[in-house]
Every structure is written in C-alpha cells, then in structure tokens.
C-alpha cells in the first residue's frame, strides 16, 4: 500500500473554515449585486433580470451629483496627498536619523491611529470656527481634510518602495557622473513610480471610502456618495441603492486589480 | 577637508514641511482644539461659551440630579456605553482571530499562484467601501432580509427574527467589516514562516495540535498582535456600523460623541468623550508597542 | 610586464573610523599605498578586513577620516563620486532595472553631457568589447548573471575612466562562469590599458589575475607585492596562512649570514632560510618559519633533512596530502604528485623529508 505524503502544512479543518470565511465575506456582497438587477422592488424575491434600478440611479440628479463630487474630491485629495507624501518619504527614508524625525512619523501616522470620529468632531469644531471667521464655506475644507487623511496611506507604499530600493543604484549613478539632481531624475524617480502609483490609488480609495470625516466637515449641499447613502439607509431602501453600491464596487474592483498588477510588477 | 561630513538637515525639513502643514492644519491642530473645548461650557445653540469648566469631564462619568445638583450619581448610561464599546470590540477581535487564523494559514500554505488569487479575494472587501459592506449586512439581517426569508422558507422559524438594532447586529457587522484587517497581517507573518521549523516539530514527535500550539502560534504571534490591534482600534472608534446596524439603543462611544454635536448640543461633553476614546486607543497602542518591543528585545537578545 | 613608474593612485596615511567614542570602529588604519598606471592591482583579505572600505574611499563614497588620497597626481579628498574619473563595478552589479542594456552602458556619458552620437557610438563599441551586441535592448532582469556582469563592466568602462574599481565582481557567479570571467577581465584590462583595482577574498583569483596585490587584515595592509612574492615569501603568519596551504614550524636560528639565516631542523640537521623583510633574528632565537607542502619531497628515512612518521593521507586526485609527525612532534604536511603505480602511504610508515633549497622562509613576529 502506498500512503499519502505527510503534509506538514496541513492543519485539519482549516481549509473548511477558510472557505466558509470567504463565502461569508462574499455572500452579502453577491446578494447585494444580484438584487441590483432585480426587476422587482424586493431584496428577496427575484422577479427577473432588469437594469431599471441602474436607469433610476443614473436619472437621479442627486445621485449623479454626489457621485461626481466624491470622484473629484478623491482625485484632488489623493493627488495632493501623493505629492506631499512623496516629498515626505524622500526626506524621511534612507537618511541618517535627525532630530524631530520621531515627531514627523507621529504626525504622518496620526490619521491612522486616531479614530475617525475624533478627527471628525475635531474638524467640525475647527471648520465651524473658520467658517465664521472667513465666511468661506466651499469644498476647500473637504479637500484639505481628505488630503490630510490620505497622507499616511499614500506615504506607506512610497516609503516601502524607497526602503527596498537598492542604494547601490544611486551610488552607481553618482559613480557614472550623475549629479544628485540627475540621479533623482533618471534613477530614483523612475524606480519610485510604482510606489507613487500605489500610494495614489490607496489615497483615492481611502478618500472615496471616508464617510465620518465628510459627514462632520461638509456644509449643506456638499454630500458625497457615502454621506448620501448613509442618509438614505434610514429610509426604505430600494434596489436603486444596490445599483449605486454595485457601481462603486466595480470601481473598487478596478482599482484593486490595478494595485495588484503594479505591486506584482515589483517582484 | 577630511573628517566627518557635516550633514545638513534643512532639505529634509523643506521636503516634509508641506505634508506637516496639512497634517497640523487638518489633523493634529484640531485635536488640540478638542482638548481645549472639553474644558469649556456648552453654548446655548451648540458650540461653546468661553467659560472654563471641568463640568464636561465630570459629566463623562457622573450625573447630577436635575432638581438637586448636589445629588451626584455615577452616569450609568455612559458607563454602559463604555462597557459595551470595549466588550463588543473585544468580541469582534476574538471572532476575527478565530476565523482569520485558519483562513490566513490556508492561504499561506497554497502554491504561489493560488495564494495570489486567495489574497486577492481577501483584499477586495478590504478595499470596498465600509458603508457598502455595512449596507450589505443590513440587507442580510433585516426582518424581511435574506436570512429571515431563507429561514422562513426552510420552515426553521415561523416569524422573522429581529436581528437589526441589537448588539448581535453590531458585532456581526464589525466582525464582517474588520475581518480582512486580521487576515492580512496574519498572512504576512505566516508567509515568512520557515516551514522547516514545522517539519522539525513533527520530526521531534509533536502531534498536529502540539505543533500548532508550540511551534506555529509562537512564531506567528507578531502577526496576531498586529491583527488584533488593527481590528480592536477601529472597533473601539466605530461609528458607521453601530449607527446603521445598532440604532439608538445599542450606541457605542463613537455614536455617543457624535450625539453631543447633534441633538445633544453639548460640545464640551462631546469633546471630553472624544478625549476618553483617544486615551483608550493610546493605551491600546502603548500596550501593543510594549508587547512587540519586548518580543523584539527577547529575539535580539537571544540572537 | 614592463615596469611602470607613473603613479595612478597615491594613498598616504589614510584611516577611516566609523562611529565615535567607545563604539568607534577603525575600518582602515594608516594605509599607505601606491597603485601604478595600467596595472591590475588586487586588494585581498577576509571579509571585514577593510578592503571594500578602501575601495569606497577611492571611489568617493566614503571620505577618509585621516590621510590623503590623490588620483593622477591631484588630491581628490572631499570630491564627490560624480566628479572623480573613477568608475566602479559593483558587487551586485547595480544595473538600473528600468533601463535597457544600452541605456545602462550609455548612462555615464549621458550624464557627462556628451553628444548623442558619441554616446551611441561608444555604447556600440562597449557592447562589442564585452560581446553583448545582440542584447542591447534587453532589460537587466532578462540577462543571466554572467551577462549582467559584462554589462556592468561595459557601463563602468564606457566613460573611459582612469581607474576601474571592481568590488568582488565575480563572487555571485558559479565556478565555471567565474573562471571565464577571470580571463575576460584580464583581456579587457590589457585591451583598454585602464588601471584596475580589484577587491576579492578569493586568494586564487588574486594570484591568477593580479600584477600586484595587497593582503589586508583588520584595516591594515600586511604585505604588498607580486603574486609570486606573496606566495613564496610571505612576511607574516596571517599572509602565509591566508594564501595557500603551508607548514608552520618553530625553529632555532644557529647562524646569520647577509640576507638569510641558518636554522636547526627537528632531528639535528640545518637548512638555509630566507628572512621576511625588516627582521633580523640573532643566533639562538626561536623563530616562526613556513614552508609550502609542495616544496618538500618524500624520500627513504634518514636520507632527507628531517624525518617523520605518516599519520594520515588524503587523496586529492592530482596529488595526495600526506600528513606526518616530525621527530620532535610538530605536525607537517607534504603534497605528493600522484602516479598510478604509487601506493598510498600507510599510517606509521617512516619517511625522510627533503626540502627544496631556498623554500624555507622565516616570518615576522
């Protein structure tokens, strides 16, 4: 009789739990997506395939408005955060320690540590004060608040990329007569691009996802998609909401796929 | 000319200063204002009046009788919310660990190619809007939602289970939403695991259970600690999930804080509560740094 | 080789200290060294001996803590690497992963602001020189280790540096490839006439490739000379031990003459020995001496300079290492050429040992 090889990696039952966990992760999302295509206004009774809820969503002026606002806010915040995070990463990675460095790390990572609700009410207080003082109540507050919130997320992959970057490459450039600026332009920056892209995408998704900060900072008429949805969830939910959620899911999926492709290219 | 090069730090400060400016403006600075507000008196229509007072901090833990201000009792409703917040966060962390460990292990032991697929599957929910995921759970557990419909159809129950607006709903939602945050660091720790050590365990007569307990768990402990902190901290500060799934009866600390800036109209109390939340988070973080720091020291000491 | 008198690199009293106070680490101590134009010079030593630090000081990546350094007669202390006419072949090649082979090779000239046509022409020339013409548009990741090595060489040679620094460039290659690259490097050095400064811990590599070499340990240069001098006339125990195999004997000086000495061998016979530079032992002193295992022949007992008894033999293919104990108990190894009809010596067999005249060397210390 030939026995099976002894597999040291196997732990009995773990595979089953893993599969169930993944099913549990996806089942609610799949149901949400499936019923966005329901012809009837029910989350449980299937009445045939239809795109009527997508039509309804796209014809809903408010939905289109808040979606577009969410997108451009995320683009602006992620772009600002990525530029600032790249500069900060260059100054704090692969350098000899300097006084104040710990404080810089603490500041950069603060949005990761402090609960969003605390940052949210802090901004509410601050912005309320600024609005009275300046009379300005535009989108600027949201852009800056989102950018600050996105900085640590953009900083992480850029810093990681810098840290794994081979220092000898820049030495080689210097050895081959490149000035520090040329070294940055021809060697450091091109090699940093995947990290910068990953940082931008992380920032973009984080801004898109942010609901608490937006909820407390926004002025009237500045709803983003998440705050709009949060408001709608209290009412009777129609599959129109499923359709909006599905569209956003699709957008996330595209970004994750891009992110994966970029990070795999590194290896 | 020879000698240690004097390094200038000025270029570093120039490069970080724009980021620091934005962070100070929109993250750290406002926190200081919160601290200050917690020592002021509430204004009539929200906001504050600039009278220094420790009343807000007092009110965090105690309440006064409306008619006899001298009569002081512990603020039971606040304490109940504190306790619920910590207890639910703890349970969330445990549930995530119990489900996350086998999942991470299963992924880490796949071949390189399938591993990427599984990791991708775990990462997608992680990148998906938290509100959408909470919404998806709401659709599952509503009185006429998926679970109740299925159970009624199967004949298991005669009338719908009331799951919405319970602690169970909040727990389910948080575990669902934060699970990837446990799996990913656990996976990272397991990926680095030297499987020859596991082989050595079996070679030295350990059973599967013993290998798991004496070899694998100690080796992936850093991943466990990181995952627990990553789940526990957002749970403690959770606002959206308890708001959508818990409603007014099962508030968590985050909702209590928000309430003071809405209907409560007591900004100083809200500010003080926010500081309490911050302190809990900082304590958890210090605990984390302590544990990982001593682990590292122990490891380096032996090396 | 014709004797060159021009000095390419002059290093005077160079020291390098990392850190300060109690944790200070002296990577280099008072290095004095002159490297001649057009020679293949090797820094040889174990890891941590300071050879790579010295190379980095020459390249400009480290500034010396003390001392001075000039290249082609001009002091370069304080100059950045990108203004020194010195190029480096890095240990892990450090090829830019985002550039093609041709872009890598042309990088130095591009940085120097040379016209595009010149960059292209030199790149082609270099590709031919290292026989990589067909790979010009590949990315480094698509090349084998040996090919990457050639590109790294071509890239460093393209700007026509006065000096090429090579930091253990062959250590990542397997044995066969390493042998090929050794002759390739030697060919390139002769064809281009550029001064090569080569760092390695591989004594065989150092002996076969170098015109001259310096043996380093603990931040100091222990001995400087041609491979022949270093191998046959080591000046101290570390050098003799690090390079090749050798027998160490403690012997008593019986007489002195001019440049050598007469020493008493175990068993009573005497032999002529050479002296390491700078020592002058007096008759009666006990001194450390070395003799290489291949400089001794086995003969019937009593017919040689010493006698010994076999304690073991290890077969190496072309030769056999015969381990013996001398009459005074000191261990000794003889390398004997193998031939088909010769039986392996059995343990306990007595032999006489005949020393090749002039092979015995007295060490410093």
B72-129 pLDDT, tens digit per residue, is 888 889 999 999 999 999 999 999 999 999 999 999 998 888 998 898 888 888 888 8
C→B interface, C-beta within 8 Å: 63-68, 77-78
B123 near A246, Cβ under 8 Å? no
Please say if the pLDDT value at position B303 is more than 60.
Answer: no
B161 near B184, Cβ under 8 Å? no
Q: Can you list the domains of chain C with their CATH numbers?
A: 3-238 (3.40.50.300), 245-362 (2.40.50.140)
Smallest CA–CA separation between C149 and chain A, in Å?
14
B268 near B38, Cβ under 8 Å? yes
Q: Could you say which residues from 4 to 33 on chain B have a Cβ atom under 8 Å away from some Cβ of chain C?
A: 4-5
Please say if the pLDDT value at position A112 is more than 80.
Answer: yes
| B295 vs C347: CA distance, rounded Å | 55
Mean pLDDT across B172-200: 90
| B19 vs A210: CA distance, rounded Å | 20
A260 near B123, Cβ under 8 Å? yes
Boundaries of CATH 1.10.3720.10 in chain A?
Answer: 61-266
This prediction's pTM = 0.80
| C105 vs C126: CA distance, rounded Å | 8
Please say if the pLDDT value at position B212 is more than 90.
Answer: no
Q: C-chain residues within 8 Å CB-CB of A192?
A: none
Please say if the pLDDT value at position B4 is more than 80.
Answer: no
Indicate yes or no: CB of A175 within 8 angstroms of CB of C92. Answer: no
C177 near C13, Cβ under 8 Å? no
Pairing of the two strands C319-326 and C331-337: antiparallel
| Closest C-alpha among C81, C61, C85 to residue C72 | C85
What's residue C33's pLDDT? 93
Average pLDDT, chain C: 89
Please say if the pLDDT value at position C106 is more than 60.
Answer: yes
Q: Can you list the domains of chain B with their CATH numbers?
A: 86-302 (1.10.3720.10)
Indicate yes or no: CB of A43 within 8 angstroms of CB of B179. Answer: no
How much is the CA Rg of chain C, to the nearest whole Å? 25
Which of C21, C61, C78 to substitute to test the interface with B, most B CBs within 10 Å? C78
| B299 pLDDT tier (thresholds 50, 70, 90) | low
Neighbours of C17 (CB within 10 A): 16
* CATH 2.60.120.10 is right for the domain spanning A61-266: no
ipTM field: 0.89
Name the residue with higher pLDDT: A87 or B71: A87
Mean pLDDT across B8-34: 91
What's residue A76's pLDDT? 97
Please say if the pLDDT value at position C5 is more than 70.
Answer: no
Indicate yes or no: CB of A191 within 8 angstroms of CB of C97. Answer: yes
| A123 vs C189: CA distance, rounded Å | 67
A16's CB contacts (< 8 A; 6+ apart) are none
Which of A10, A11, A198, A229 to substitute to test the interface with B, most B CBs within 10 Å? A11
Cα A63–chain centre separation: 21
| C207 vs C242: CA distance, rounded Å | 12
The pLDDT tens digits for A81-111 are: 999 999 999 999 888 788 888 899 999 999 8
A169 near C107, Cβ under 8 Å? no
For the ranges B212-221, B279-288, C231-240, which has the lowest average pLDDT?
A: B212-221
Indicate yes or no: CB of A91 within 8 angstroms of CB of B11. Answer: yes
What's residue A267's pLDDT? 43
Q: Could you say which residues from 181 to 220 on chain A have a Cβ atom under 8 Å away from some Cβ of chain B?
A: 205, 208-209, 211-212, 216
Indicate yes or no: CB of B105 within 8 angstroms of CB of A14. Answer: yes
What's residue A40's pLDDT? 86
Query: Exposed, middle or buried, A142 (CB in 10 Å: 0-12/13-18/19+)?
Result: buried
Indicate yes or no: CB of B105 within 8 angstroms of CB of A144. Answer: no
Indicate yes or no: CB of C82 within 8 angstroms of CB of A169. Answer: no
């Amino acid at each position: 009789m030939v026995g099976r090889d002894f597999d040291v990696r196997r732990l009995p039952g773990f595979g089953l739990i893993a599969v169930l966990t993944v099913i549990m992760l996806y089942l609610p999302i799949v149901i949400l997506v499936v019923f966005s295509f329901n012809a009837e206004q029910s989350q449980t009774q299937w009445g045939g395939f239809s795109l009527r809820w997508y039509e309804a969503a796209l014809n809903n002026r408010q939905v289109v408005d808040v979606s577009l606002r969410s997108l451009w806010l995320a683009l602006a915040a992620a772009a600002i955060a990525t530029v600032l995070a790249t500069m900060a990463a260059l100054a704090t990675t692969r350098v000899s320690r300097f006084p104040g460095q710990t404080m810089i790390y603490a500041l950069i990572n603060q949005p990761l540590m402090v609960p969003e609700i605390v940052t949210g009410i802090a901004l509410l207080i601050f912005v309320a004060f600024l609005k009275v003082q300046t009379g300005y109540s535009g989108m600027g507050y949201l852009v800056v608040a989102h950018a600050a919130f996105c900085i640590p997320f953009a900083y992480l992959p850029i810093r990681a990329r810098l840290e794994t970057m081979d220092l000898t490459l820049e030495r080689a450039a210097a050895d081959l007569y490149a000035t520090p600026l040329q070294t940055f332009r021809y060697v450091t920056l091109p090699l940093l691009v995947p990290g910068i892209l990953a940082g931008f995408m992380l920032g973009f998704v984080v801004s898109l996802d942010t609901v608490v900060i937006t909820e407390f900072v926004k002025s009237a008429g500045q709803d983003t998609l998440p705050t709009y949805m949060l408001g709608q969830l209290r009412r009777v939910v129609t599959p129109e909401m499923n359709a909006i959620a599905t569209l956003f899911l699709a957008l996330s999926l595209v970004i994750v796929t891009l992110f994966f492709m970029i990070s795999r290219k590194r290896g | 000319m020879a000698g240690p090069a004097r390094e200038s730090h000025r270029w570093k400060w120039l490069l970080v200063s724009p980021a620091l400016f934005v962070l100070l403006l929109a993250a750290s600075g406002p926190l200081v204002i919160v601290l200050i507000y917690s020592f002021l008196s509430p204004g009539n229509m929200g906001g504050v009046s600039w009278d220094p007072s420790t009343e807000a901090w007092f009110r965090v833990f105690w309440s006064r009788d409306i008619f006899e201000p001298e009569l002081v009792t512990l603020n039971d409703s606040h304490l109940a919310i504190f306790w619920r917040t910590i207890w639910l966060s703890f349970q969330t962390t445990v549930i995530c660990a119990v489900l996350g460990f086998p999942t991470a292990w299963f992924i880490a032991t796949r071949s390189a190619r399938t591993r990427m697929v599984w990791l991708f599957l775990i990462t997608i929910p992680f990148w998906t809007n938290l509100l959408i995921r909470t919404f998806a759970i709401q659709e599952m557990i509503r009185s006429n939602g998926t679970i109740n419909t299925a159970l009624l159809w199967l004949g298991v129950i005669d009338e719908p289970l009331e799951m919405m607006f319970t602690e169970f709903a909040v727990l389910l939602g948080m575990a669902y939403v934060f699970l990837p945050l446990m799996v990913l660091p656990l996976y990272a720790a397991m990926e680095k695991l030297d499987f020859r050590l596991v082989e050595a365990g079996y070679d030295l007569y350990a059973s599967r259970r013993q290998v798991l307990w004496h070899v694998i768990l100690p080796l992936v402990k850093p991943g466990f600690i990181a995952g627990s902190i990553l789940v526990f901290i957002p749970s403690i500060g959770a606002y959206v999930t308890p708001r959508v799934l818990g409603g007014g009866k099962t508030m968590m600390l985050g909702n209590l804080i928000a309430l003071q800036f809405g209907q409560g109209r007591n900004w100083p109390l809200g500010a003080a509560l926010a500081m309490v939340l911050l302190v809990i988070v900082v304590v958890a973080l210090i605990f984390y740094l302590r544990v990982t720091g001593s682990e590292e020291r122990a490891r380096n000491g032996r090396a | 080789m014709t004797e060159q008198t021009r000095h390419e690199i002059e290093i005077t009293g160079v020291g390098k200290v990392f850190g300060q106070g109690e944790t200070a680490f002296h990577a280099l101590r008072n290095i004095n060294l002159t490297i001649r134009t057009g020679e293949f010079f090797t820094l040889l030593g174990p890891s941590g001996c300071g050879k790579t630090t010295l190379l980095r000081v020459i390249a400009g990546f480290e500034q010396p803590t003390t001392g001075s350094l000039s290249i082609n007669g001009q002091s370069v202390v304080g100059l950045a690497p990108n203004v020194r006419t010195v190029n480096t072949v890095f240990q892990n090649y450090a090829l830019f992963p985002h550039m093609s082979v041709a872009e890598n090779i042309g990088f130095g000239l591009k940085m120097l602001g040379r016209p595009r046509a010149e960059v292209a022409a030199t790149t082609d020339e270099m590709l031919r020189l290292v026989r990589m013409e067909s790979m010009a548009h590949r990315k480094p990741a698509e090349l084998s280790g040996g090919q990457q090595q050639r590109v790294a060489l071509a890239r460093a040679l393209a700007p026509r540096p006065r000096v090429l620094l090579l930091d253990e460039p062959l250590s990542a290659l397997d044995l066969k490839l390493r042998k090929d690259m050794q002759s390739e490097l030697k060919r390139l050095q002769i064809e281009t006439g550029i001064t090569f400064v080569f760092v390695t811990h591989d004594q065989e590599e150092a002996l076969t490739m170098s015109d001259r070499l310096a043996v380093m340990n603990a931040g100091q240069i222990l001995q400087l000379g041609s491979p022949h001098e270093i191998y046959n006339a080591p000046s101290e125990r570390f050098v003799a031990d690090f390079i090749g195999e050798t027998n160490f004997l403690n012997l008593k000086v019986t007489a002195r003459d001019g440049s050598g000495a007469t020493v008493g061998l175990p068993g009573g016979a005497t032999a002529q020995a050479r002296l390491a530079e700078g020592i002058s032992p007096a008759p009666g002193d006990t001194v450390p001496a070395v003799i290489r295992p291949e400089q001794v022949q086995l003969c019937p007992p009593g017919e040689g300079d010493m006698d010994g008894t076999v304690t073991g033999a290890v077969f190496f293919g072309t030769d056999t290492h015969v381990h013996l104990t001398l009459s005074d108990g000191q261990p000794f190894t003889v390398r004997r050429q193998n031939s088909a009809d010769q039986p392996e010596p059995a343990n306990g067999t007595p032999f006489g040992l005949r020393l090749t005249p002039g092979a015995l060397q007295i060490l410093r210390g």
